[in-house]
Chain A
Amino acid sequence: GENVEQHPSTLSVQEGDSAVIKCTYSDSASNYFPWYKQELGKGPQLIIDIRSNVGEKKDQRIAVTLNKTAKHFSLHITETQPEDSAVYFCAATGGGADGLTFGKGTHLIIQP
């Protein structure tokens, strides 16, 4: 089955700087890679996703890149703001029960 590794587990950046979170996956058949933001006491919120036929996607301050050959994808957040502080999860298709396989999460801390 699919295995998704996510790094780092904790990331602290100064407000206004950029943050990068990286993930690798194992199943070459996976074709959909979403990123979720989870705030305390809330459910995961989809912030951006990318499909295997695309190498990069951008939405305002957030971008995702995908390297199918190397089986890794990354989340880039520019001009970070205090409200970006949260736990971020990458995910990939290919998990059991026809659902998503998630990485273990990155706790992003934005320092004022």
Chain B
Amino acid sequence: DTAVSQTPKYLVTQMGNDKSIKCEQNLGHDTMYWYKQDSKKFLKIMFSYNNKELIINETVPNRFSPKSPDKAHLNLHINSLELGDSAVYFCASSQGGRDQPQHFGDGTRLSIL
């Protein structure tokens, strides 16, 4: 059983398009996150979300928006894709917030042509 699963694993698309990445966790956690890993493998937090609050890293462009249909899902929507959006995006979850263990999915590699 995969604890945190993301789809698709690979996403190749043209500049200017709009795309979504799905994330589901079956751990019963109440907080979910999105991280971006660049070509140098640097991991950076983008968002955290629980059923009460969305917290956005100030450096994230407003073209990125997370949406949570329910507690087990946090999908990432990206509008007007740019070349610099090419990266691996990771979803994670934890129980109780950032000072609790976070469990990561295996990532979605986004390539912008």
Contact = CB atoms under 8 A, between A and B. Distances in A.
A63 to B, nearest CB: 17
A10 to B, nearest CB: 12
A98 B106 contact: no
Interface residues of B, number: 31
Contacts, number: 72
A43 B104 contact: yes
Given A43-B90, A43-B104, A44-B90, A99 B99 contact: no
Please provide the 3 A-B residue pairs with the shortest distance between their CB atoms, ordered closest to farther: A99-B45, A43-B104, A97-B57
Interface of B: 4, 33, 35, 40-48, 55-60, 90, 92, 97-107
Interface in A21-62: 31-32, 34, 36, 38, 41-46, 49, 51
A42 B90 CA distance: 10
Contacts of B55: 97-98
